[in-house]
C-alpha cells in the first residue's frame, strides 16, 4: 500500500512537471514549440502510463510471460503514439511540428518514469 501511494505521488509529480515544461516551451515564439495544444500529450501519456502499469502489474512478475507482456505493451504504446501524432498532423497541419516536438519530449519523460517504475517493481519480487 505504501508503494502504491509513493507511485501515485511520483506519477502526479511527473505529470505536473511535464505539463509545466510543455507550457514553458509553448511560450517560446518559434515554430518548434509554439502551440496551444501543449497539454494534450501530457493527458495522453498520463492515461497511457496508468493503463500500461495497471495491465503490467497484474499477474506474476517472475514468469517469462511478464517479459513478453512488457515488450508487447511497449510496442503497442509506440504504435498508438505514432498513430495519434499522425492523426493530429492531418487534423491540424499548422501546429503539427510543434505538437510533435512536445509529444516526443513527453514520450521520453513518461517512458523513463515507466521503465524506472517497472525496474523497481521487478526488484521487489526478489
For residue range 2-55, what is the model confidence (pLDDT) as tens digits?
Answer: 678 888 899 999 999 999 999 999 998 888 898 899 999 999 999 999 988 888
Residues 26-61: b if buried by 16+ CB within 10 A, e if exposed: beeeeeebbbeebebbbebbbebbeebbeebeeeeb
Q: How confident is the model over 79-95, as pLDDT tens digits?
A: 999 999 999 999 999 99
Residue 53: the pLDDT is: 83
* Total number of domains in the chain: 1
Domain with 47 in it: 2-125
Is residue 126 scored above 60 in pLDDT? Answer: no
pLDDT band (50, 70, 90) for residue 121: confident
Amino acid at each position: 500500500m505504501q508503494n502504491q501511494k509513493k507511485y501515485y505521488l511520483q506519477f502526479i509529480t511527473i505529470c505536473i512537471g511535464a505539463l509545466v515544461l510543455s507550457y514553458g516551451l509553448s511560450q517560446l515564439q518559434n515554430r518548434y514549440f509554439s502551440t496551444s495544444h501543449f497539454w494534450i500529450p501530457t493527458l495522453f501519456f498520463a492515461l497511457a502510463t496508468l493503463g500500461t502499469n495497471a495491465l503490467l502489474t497484474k499477474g506474476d512478475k517472475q514468469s517469462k510471460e511478464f517479459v513478453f507482456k512488457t515488450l508487447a505493451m511497449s510496442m503497442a504504446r509506440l504504435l498508438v503514439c505514432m498513430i495519434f501524432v499522425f492523426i493530429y498532423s492531418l487534423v491540424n497541419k499548422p501546429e503539427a511540428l510543434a505538437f510533435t516536438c512536445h509529444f516526443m519530449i513527453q514520450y521520453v519523460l513518461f517512458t523513463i518514469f515507466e521503465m524506472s517504475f517497472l525496474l523497481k517493481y521487478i526488484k521487489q519480487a526478489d
